[in-house]
Structure 1
Amino acid sequence: MSKKKFEVFENETINDCLERMEKEGYIPVKRMEVPIFSEQMVNGKVEIEPTGRKIVFEGKLNTN
């Protein structure tokens, strides 16, 4: 079974990503939201804060 991960790009909708998966012959089997963190200086200390998220789909090769 062949799997591949597809990230929803910044200027792309979820549907655009799903269509791209379909064109490559994959069907979505899992959706993940991965947090994005950045380092911020607060009162002389470095603090890590969440600044966003990226959506990643795991696709399985469609054998039908």
Structure 2
Amino acid sequence: MKKEFEVMENETIIDCLNRMEKEGYRVIKRTEKPIFKEETHQGKTNYIPIARKIIFQGIKDS
């Protein structure tokens, strides 16, 4: 069974990996998704990356 774990704002990557391990999961995939801010300047819309979301996909250890 697969489950996704997102690195929360108040935790480090290591904290998230430890949380996965406590729940009995091991990492099989890491995904990073950019978070953009929309700004309009002189009628032109720009999308500026402001952060990233890190998601680990885990599989149950047997």
What's the TM-score, normalizing by structure 1?
Answer: 0.87
Q: Quick check: 1:27 aligned with 2:26? A: yes
Distance in 1, Cα, partners of 2:23 & 2:36: 31
After the TM superposition, which parts of structure 1 deviate over 3 Å for at least 4 consecutive aligned residues? Answer: none
Q: How far does the alpha carbon of each residue in 1:14-41 deviate from its partner, in whole angstroms, 9 at most, with x for none? A: 1100010011110011111111011112
Which ranges of structure 1 fall in alignment gaps of 5 or more residues?
A: none
What's the TM-score, normalizing by structure 2?
Answer: 0.90
* Matches for 1:18-57 after TM superposition, within 5 Å: 18-57=17-56
Residue 11 of structure 2 is matched in structure 1 by 12
Q: Give 3-state SS (helix, strand or coil) of 2:50's partner.
A: strand
Aligned length: 62
Distance in 1, Cα, partners of 2:23 & 2:33: 23
Taking only the aligned residue pairs, the percentage that are identical comes to: 56
Which ranges of structure 2 fall in alignment gaps of 5 or more residues?
A: none
